[in-house]
Amino acid sequence: MSRLQTMKKSVSSRMTKEQRDRMKQILPFIGLPTAKVETAKWKLNNLGFTERGLQDMEYLYEHAKNPVIKRFAAFELALWYINQYSREGSEKALDYLLDMLKTEVNQETIRRASILAAEAMVHLGVTDRAGVMLDALIKKKPHPDLYLARVNTLKGSEFRIPYLNKVLSDAGLLKVKLNEDVQKKLSAYDALEARVKKELVNQPSLKDVKVTVLVPVYHAEKTLQTAVRSLQAQTWSNLEIFIIDDASTDSTVEAAEALAKKDERIKVLQVEQNGGPYAARNLALKQAEGMFVTVNDADDWSHPEKIEKQVRHLLANDNVVGNMSQQARMFEDLTLHRRARPGEFVFNNMSSFMFRREKVLEKLGSWDRVRFAADSEFIFRVRRLFGEQSVVELTTGPLSFQRQSDQSLTGNEAFGLPNYKMGVRREYEMAHDYHHKHGRSLYYDPDQTERPFAVPEPMLPEREEKENGRRKFDIVFAADFREEDALPSEEFQSAEQENKRIGFVLLYRYNASPFPHVHPRWRKLINNGAAEMLVYREKIQAGEVRFPDIEALQEKQRYVPLIEAGRAVISGKTRNRDHVEIEKAVHRISGKAPEWNE
């Protein structure tokens, strides 16, 4: 990392989330050469303007006179295309990458672009070419991400292990090997273990420091043993391990109880009704006794030194409330997954967050009781209450290899996390940010009988009863609710006075800044229960869908619910807009030919 990049990272780490968000909003106005590309990227990724956003990015690439802008646009286009995971996408990505690499001088950008290029080559069947390119870069300047990219060019787990070990040893971590007996029964991933055993931490001043590890499980009978085995191999052995079953219907509980019989550190808890991993964590949190608390997902392998590294850092830094280590996502054959990240495999692991139990629980209570995405919300609350520097992101090397599969939540199209917030996750982030700034308390009771703020229905532990898989609403308003004037007051008040169930669909005005959040006027109505925000791919049956915001219908956007409407009404003024295109947009969103009520 260059001195400039190190300085930028240091400055960013001292900024609050609110300050970073504000910086995004003013980027287009402060004259940075890459601001236009950053804006187009947000519209393409976060807002779902797939067609127009891609056109604008390609225009920036084709017409940019500034070579910095041209290279930045080329990189973002390459990233977009390679993340489509298609042969055509890989071909286009490789063209953009090879073009930008001709003139790129920044070493970090060269590395990231080369990693993406190697991935494209593998997809296109020229794996040897990818290996040669990566070897040349490694020889010039070794880097963990280059070694892991090289892993993906090799066939056979026995050839991949040396490169994994190079990453670990360069980070000062124990090397790994494959347990042959386990590999015969399961996968190479499940067979990972330390090559040599490190002496357990047993200094008198340290051995009384207990760490509580929470392992929420749901239908994890096939993966739980690997996760727990990696915890049992930790060099920090003073552990309290809670396995919390989230109402599994397979043999997960039996597997957990069998493990507990052999290790007195393991305790098995069961929730009465499936509510998601955070509700399960909160149940165990009430019984936790450790000085520190952390989490290990039920399908993830942790390096033997993971807990020790994080504990030692907290013990040496009294001013730090919590820390995180790093991870890499791994398939069962030991190949690595970027998860749409820009040419990197090793990155921060939010689920590894380890915190001082008494201090945090006294002030903040527990995780938000939602089905996903609460790790970041919890950390944001810690930072907001204790200060930005209270949470440290450690540069540890990959202390977790998180199991990657086609069924992974983070790969889910609607609810996943492709390295940017969209759909339900963007709405959740906007909702919790508003609460953090304006809510009366940041303390969440572990049982959480009442929500601190409204969230989309797919996130709730207790799901709504549905007819044919669809939630019913009397009237849905589709508009850009980031704008105070998105919806005429009389339209909403009329529906509210008639006690209609009201839904909001957040559409975006393409020519507006992509960064602002939902306006407080509408956020207050949502939090008060007067309306509900409906999100991407949620199935909705609506008596009527009203479109008062013509500006938000100009460009096709992807992140909308799946709506079956009784009728669709356009109530905004057209201002000589193309009626045909507007009607097409309304039909795409509502499934109904619209009526006009100008």
What's the pTM? 0.92
595's tokens:
């009526």
pLDDT at residue number 521: 98
Q: What are phi and psi of 200, to 5 degrees?
A: -65, 150
- Which long-range CB contacts under 8 A does 439-446 form with residues at least 24 apart? 442/363, 442/364, 442/381, 442/384, 442/385, 443/363, 443/364, 443/365, 444/364, 444/365, 444/366, 444/367, 444/368, 444/369, 445/365, 445/366, 446/282, 446/283, 446/285, 446/286, 446/365, 446/366
Q: Are 457 and 471 in contact (CB under 8 A)?
A: yes
Q: Which of 308, 334, 298 is nearest to 191 (CA)?
A: 334
Q: What is the mean pLDDT of residues 100-107?
A: 96
| Residue 542 near residue 565, CB atoms below 8 Å | yes
The predicted structure's pLDDT at residue 7: 52
487 by Cβ neighbours in 10 Å (0-12 / 13-18 / 19+) ranks as buried
* Dist. CA 218–CA 512, nearest whole Å: 42
Which residues partner with 217 through β-bridges? 245
Q: Please state which of the ranges 186-200, 244-258, 341-355, 509-523 shows the lowest mean pLDDT.
A: 186-200
CB 539 within 8 A of CB 565: no
pLDDT of 577 higher than 70 = no
Q: Which of 22-36, 298-312, 497-511 has the lowest mean pLDDT?
A: 22-36
Give the pLDDT confidence score for residue 121 in this predicted structure: 98
Q: CA 505, CA 302: separation in Å to the nearest integer?
A: 41
Q: What do you get for the CA distance between the two ends of the chain, in Å?
A: 57
pLDDT tens digits, one per residue of 405-415:
866 545 566 67
pLDDT tens-digit readout, 3-61: 544 555 555 566 666 666 555 554 444 446 688 999 999 999 999 999 999 999 999 99
∠ CA 115-121-127 to the nearest 5 degrees?
100
pLDDT value for 159: 96
- At 1, the pLDDT band (50, 70, 90 cuts) reads very low
Query: Which 3 state secondary structure label does DSSP give 406?
Result: coil
Structural domains for the chain: 18-141 (1.25.40.10), 192-424 (3.90.550.10), 464-596 (3.40.50)
CB–CB of 479/486 below 8 Å? yes
- 408-419 burial, b at 16+ Cβ within 10 Å, e below that, comes to bebbeebbbbbe
Return d(Cα 113, Cα 74) in angstroms, integer: 10
Mean pLDDT of 343-370: 98
Q: Does residue 202 have a pLDDT over 90?
A: no
**Average pLDDT rounded to a whole number, residues 558-587:** 88
Residue 339 has pLDDT above 50, yes or no: yes
Among candidate residues 439, 271, 254, 299, the one with its CA nearest the CA of residue 365: 439
pLDDT for res 2:
47
Number of alpha carbons in the 13 Å side-chain half-sphere of residue 228: 29
